[in-house]
Amino acid sequence: MTLRLGIVPYAYYISWYVIGRPPTSYNLYEKHSGITILDNVIGYKKEKEKSYVFGEDTSYIVIDEENGSYSKKEIEKTDPKYKDLIKGMKELK
């Protein structure tokens, strides 16, 4: 099932992607196809070349801002790099 996204209330737009809020939690979608990339988004961090979207679990998405590609990664919350990674994250509520 694909979801068509128009102007979405409670949405955050990151280049080719959108963080939208269905009834219960935020999700990351491809902007034009509406395909869900990451469920239960808790926050994001936008930088010049890359953006990061963090899930409730240990997964996060890295978006290449130049070409729009993305990759899904995992990190343990106990990993010392995790604190550096989420530093500056805009939390979604």
Which value, to the nearest 10 degrees, does the dihedral of the CA atoms of residues 27, 49, 91, 11 take?
-40
Kindly indicate the confidence band of residue 34, based on its pLDDT and cuts at 50, 70 and 90.
confident
Whole-structure pTM value: 0.81
Residues 39-75: tens digit of each pLDDT = 999 999 988 899 999 999 889 999 998 888 999 999 8
Phi and psi of 84, rounded to 5°? Answer: -65, -40
**In sequence order, which residues have a C-beta less than 8 Å from that of residue 24 and are 6 or more positions away?**
none
- Asked whether the predicted pLDDT for residue 1 surpasses 50, the reply is no
Place of tokens 């930088």: 47
Q: How many CA atoms lie within 13 A of 14 on its CB side?
A: 29
Res 86: pLDDT: 86
Kindly indicate the confidence band of residue 6, based on its pLDDT and cuts at 50, 70 and 90.
very low
- Asked whether the predicted pLDDT for residue 12 surpasses 80, the reply is no
